[in-house]
A = this chain, B = another copy of it.
Amino acid sequence: MTNHDRLETQSHPRPTRRRQRLPHNNSTTSKASQLADLDGLTAHLGYLIRRAQIWIFQDFIRTLATVNIRPAQYSVLTVIDANPGLTQMSLSKALGIERARLVHLLDGLEARRFVERRPSASDRRSHALHLTARGGTALTAIKALAQEHEQHLAERVGRKNRQQLLRLLAVFASG
C-alpha cells in the first residue's frame, strides 16, 4: 500500500541513498511492548525539543515543589526582580506571555504577597510591578532550588552539552 519512500529526503543537496529499511516487525515475542521505530521523528527538531521540554519542566516542578513555584511563575518573579517597576505590558512582551494570561499569573503571586501592583507614576493605565520584601526573600530560596534543578540537567546531558545547548537555543529567545 503506502509506497511513499520511507523517511524524509533530507532536502535538496543530497539524495540520501538509504533504501531497504523495513520497519522491523517485531514478530518475536508477541509482547508488543518492543519499542516502536521512531526514526521518522528523531530527525525533527520539534519532536526532540518537545520531549526535552517535558522532561525539564517535570524536573523543575518536582524540584521546586516545596516552594510551589512553576516555571512561568519563576520567570515572572525573576524578571520583576531584575526590572523593578516594569509594566505588565513590557513583562508580557519580554516573556512572550499574553497580556491576558499574565493577569492571572500576577493575581496568584500577588495573593501570596510575593508581588505588588503599584500605581504607575507616569501612566495611570499601567501598573508598576515590584517584588515585596517577602517576595524577595522567597526568590532567594527559589533561585537556590532552581540551581539545583539546573544541576539535574547538567547530570542528564553533561555539563558542556548543557552549555552548548544554552548557546544554540539563544537564537529563539530574541525574536
Contacts and interface: CB of A to CB of B under 8 A. Distances in A.
Interface of A: 1-4, 6-13, 23-25, 30, 32-57, 60, 71, 75, 78-79, 81-87, 89-91, 93-94, 96, 122-123, 126, 131, 133, 135-137, 139-141, 143-144, 146-147, 149-151, 153, 156-157, 161-162, 164-166, 168-173, 175
Contacts of A30: 122
A44 to B, nearest CB: 7
B169 A48 contact: yes
**Dominant secondary structure at the A interface:** helix
7 contacts: A2-B131, A4-B139, A11-B139, A39-B82, A47-B71, A50-B53, A52-B169
Contact of A143 (B11, B81, B146): B11
A42 B161 contact: no
Instruction: Give this chain's copy count.
Output: 2
A23 B85 CA distance: 11
Contacts of A33: 89-90, 93
Contact of A12 (B44, B139, B161): B139
A48 B157 contact: no
B34 A90 contact: yes
A39 to B, nearest CB: 7
Contact of A45 (B48, B56, B126, B143): B56
Contact of A83 (B13, B36, B147, B172): B36
Given A10-B81, A11-B147, A153-B45, A94 B169 contact: no
B46 A71 contact: yes
Given A2-B140, A7-B150, 4 more contacts: A1-B133, A2-B139, A41-B75, A53-B53
